[in-house]
Chain A
Amino acid sequence: MPKFLKGNYRLPKGKATLARKQARKDLTQQFEERALAKLGGSLCFVMKKGTFVWTDEADEGARQASG
């Protein structure tokens, strides 16, 4: 059986190593962030284009029409 599963081509060397490295880096980063999360603040801070309060106008219109 193993002989049928044997690969008959080689991955380009650089690409495979890069992908593996990136995956390892992502995993390390995830672990690090999980561990360090206890140092975090109360709640996320996200702000775009100076918008302090956001409401989906389209949703709001639909809600009012159906209500």
Chain B
Amino acid sequence: MKALAKHLVDRMDRLTAARSVEAAVKNVQANQPYIRLTIADLAAQARRSPPDSAVVIGAGPSLHRRNPVAQLLESGYEGAVVAADGALGYCLRNGLVPEYVVTLDPHPARVCRWFGDPELESRRDGDDYFRRQDLDPYLGVEEFKRNRALIELVNRHGPSIKAIICTSVASNVTKRCVESGMELYWWNPLVDDVEQPKSLTRRLHRLNGAPCMVSGGNVGASAWVAASQVLGAREIAVTGMDFSYPPGTPMEKTQYFKELVELFGKRAHDALIVVRNPHLNETWLTDPAYYWYRETFLRLAAQAEAVTYNCTEGGILFGKAVRWTSLRAFLAARRAAEAVH
């Protein structure tokens, strides 16, 4: 890892706080009128019949390379399916209605797109994020038409989906979840040390009473935290959890490259990181934020009772705390376990 990349990774928790906390707190206040059920209610429901296992669907590029939804449908998997917001459209288009969807990013405009954004056609902010992103490339072309189709899909299936929704999301995301008929289960983000006298997290908790949950820095990790700590799943497979870009991805196509060039000019390349995955024998490219996501995820997994299987079949999420396997093998093992019971 080059010095510039290390400098950024080492500061990523502070940079993320600087980027997100102000917007998150503003959103918490705006979401106040909508807060009725919380993840405490969801945990109580789950305790009555806890899932043996869960599959968490992140929105990494392997989702579209490996198509885990086809395998899940084919196997008749009966455990809990928890999707990150960015994977919701992919799931629904491919015929899988996830029981849960998790959302947390406080961005005022972008996140709503994952649910189908009714304001897209009237918004003129020139944001090209969805044309550049690899989380759901399908939404990056014929944007208006596909957005309209997604609105319809989410509205059709919303009543069957439980949203595990962070109080930090923008109000347009809340409204989309509500109007599509989803049941909302709220949580506050843990943004600082609750033992400090002026803790912001503690203030948010007092404001709305919702439990505070570790985010892991990104929605995929939050979905995993919800599966293990709220739903109580003991065995969790994660798919689409790459935290990186496939071999051969040009640096210009990476998520933060535009910002890196703005900040560092010709040195932008030094901020990117290459990681050799020994399970795949491939080299994947990542940026400081994604690398930080990987590190935080491994820390979380090491502290959880649940066993985590990385079934992404791509990316850089490997280490002692995570068992590397294929989704096919995970599903076959679950079927065999069910047959025994």
Contacts and interface: CB of A to CB of B under 8 A. Distances in A.
Given A43-B16, A46-B192, A53-B39, 20 more contacts: A36-B11, A38-B19, A39-B15, A39-B288, A40-B16, A40-B20, A41-B12, A41-B218, A42-B219, A43-B217, A44-B190, A45-B13, A48-B195, A51-B214, A52-B303, A52-B304, A54-B211, A55-B40, A55-B211, A59-B206
Interface residues on A, range: 20 to 34
User: In this complex, which of A33, A41, A50 has the most chain B Cβ atoms within 10 angstroms of its Cβ?
Assistant: A41
Interface of A: 33-48, 50-56, 59-60, 63
A43 B218 contact: yes
A54 B12 contact: no
Contacts of B194: 48, 54, 56
Interface residues of B, number: 62
Nearest to B168: A43
Contacts of A36: 8, 11, 15, 18, 263
B293 interface: yes
B201 A42 contact: no
Contacts of A53: 39, 187, 211-214, 229-230
Contacts of B230: 53
Nearest to A54: B212
B298 interface: no
B209 A63 contact: yes
Interface in B125-146: none
A22 B299 CA distance: 33
